[in-house]
Amino acid sequence: MRLHATITRPGFIGTADGVELFYRDWRPEHAVANGKTIFFVPSYSLPGDMWAYQMLPLVRQGFRCVAYDRRGHGRSSDPGGGYDYDTLADDLAGIIEALDLSGLTLAGYSMGGAEAVRYLTRHGSARVARLVLIASTLPMLAKTPDNPGGIDRAYADAFQHDLMTDYPQWLADNARPFAGPRASQAMIDWIREMALRTSHHALLACNETVNGGDFRDELRDVDVPTLIVQGDADVSNPLELTSQRTARLIPNARLLVYEGAPHGIFLSDAARLTADLAAFASA
Which of the following is catalytic: 234, 236, 243, 268? 234
Which of the following is catalytic: 43, 45, 110, 199? 110
CA distance 239 to 250: 16
- Catalytic, 25? Answer no
Closest CA to 24 of 7, 1, 48: 48
Which of the following is catalytic: 49, 77, 263, 268? 263
- Catalytic, 4? Answer no
Asked if residue 40 lies in contact with residue 13, where contact means CB atoms within 8 angstroms, the answer is no
- Catalytic, 110? Answer yes
For the chain, the first-to-last Cα distance in angstroms comes to: 29
Q: What amino acid occupies position 188?
A: I
Q: Which residues have a catalytic role annotated?
A: 110, 234, 263
